[in-house]
């Protein structure tokens, strides 16, 4: 029996990178997957990749910064597959709504752009809350749910020049702990992954700040950034599987040992 046989999963930001890797891993373990991202062509491509491999997936174009689209994505999933068991909140916007960026842009705290603050929060912590609220009635009714949110050790350490991103990622961790405390009684597990994986954002950082990325890799005991499929997918499968049924409210550092917080 596959670990996620007949489970229904929603994975956001699944058009590329970590989200795509998780969607593929879930499908390989038997889950029916809603591939959610903002660009229709990418979600359709990933859904097709899953279906062509013998899995089951649908693509849903959704801007996670828009509440109606978030609730609509959950409803579309339920209409297609009957319910939702797993939600992975991986999507995160950067920059501003009028000028989105592929990754964070380092700015001193006193120069924080408040439009960037609002957009980063809306596509991060607020979007995670929306997906959780939309999925909750289905999870509560069946007495089972797995929610995996994404944060960052950048927020835990207060990394300089990353005010908006740090704040929304720590808000996501607080949201996760609160949901874990309130929803555990309904059989719903809520956990966080803090990744240091080779992603589109890291590629942009390599171009813009190669010395920073090199120093980061040298700080990692394993001397490499993680790979989304090799390293990200398996952890996300575990946190969505029965093996994690007694784990909730925790932050998992998928960083090759870069940080060892007490």
Catalytic sites, residue numbers: 165
Give the position of tokens 């999507």: 91
> Could you please report the per-residue DSSP string of 241-260?
SGGGTT--S-EEEESTTS--
The pair of structure tokens assigned to 161 is 């020049």
* Cα dihedral 73, 70, 123, 196 sign: negative
Sheet with 8-12, strands from edge to edge, namely 56-61, 32-37, 8-12, 86-89, 145-150, 188-195, 251-254
Bridge partners (DSSP) of residue 88 are: 11, 148
């Amino acid at each position: 029996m596959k670990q996620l046989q007949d489970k229904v999963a929603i994975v956001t930001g699944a058009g590329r990178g970590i989200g795509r890797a998780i969607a593929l891993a879930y499908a390989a373990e038997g889950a029916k997957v809603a591939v959610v991202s903002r660009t229709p062509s990418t979600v359709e491509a990933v859904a097709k990749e899953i279906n062509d491999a013998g899995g089951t997936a649908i693509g849903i174009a959704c801007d996670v910064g828009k509440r109606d689209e978030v609730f609509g994505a959950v409803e579309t999933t339920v209409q297609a597959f009957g319910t939702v068991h797993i939600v992975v909140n991986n999507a995160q916007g950067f920059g501003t709504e009028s000028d989105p960026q592929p990754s964070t842009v380092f700015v001193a705290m006193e120069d924080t752009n408040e439009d960037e603050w609002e957009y980063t929060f809306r596509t991060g912590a607020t979007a995670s809350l929306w997906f959780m609220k939309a999925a909750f009635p289905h999870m509560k009714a069946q007495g089972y749910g797995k929610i995996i949110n994404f944060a960052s050790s950048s927020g835990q350490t207060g990394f300089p020049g990353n005010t908006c991103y740090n704040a929304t990622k720590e808000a996501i961790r607080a949201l996760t702990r609160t949901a874990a405390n309130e929803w555990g009684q309904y059989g719903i597990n809520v956990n966080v992954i803090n990744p240091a994986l080779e992603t589109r954002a890291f590629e942009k950082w390599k171009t813009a700040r190669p010395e920073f990325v090199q120093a980061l890799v040298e700080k990692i005991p394993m001397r490499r950034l993680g790979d989304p499929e090799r390293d990200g997918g398996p952890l996300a499968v575990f946190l969505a599987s029965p093996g994690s049924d007694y784990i909730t409210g925790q932050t998992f550092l998928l960083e090759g040992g870069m940080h060892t917080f007490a």
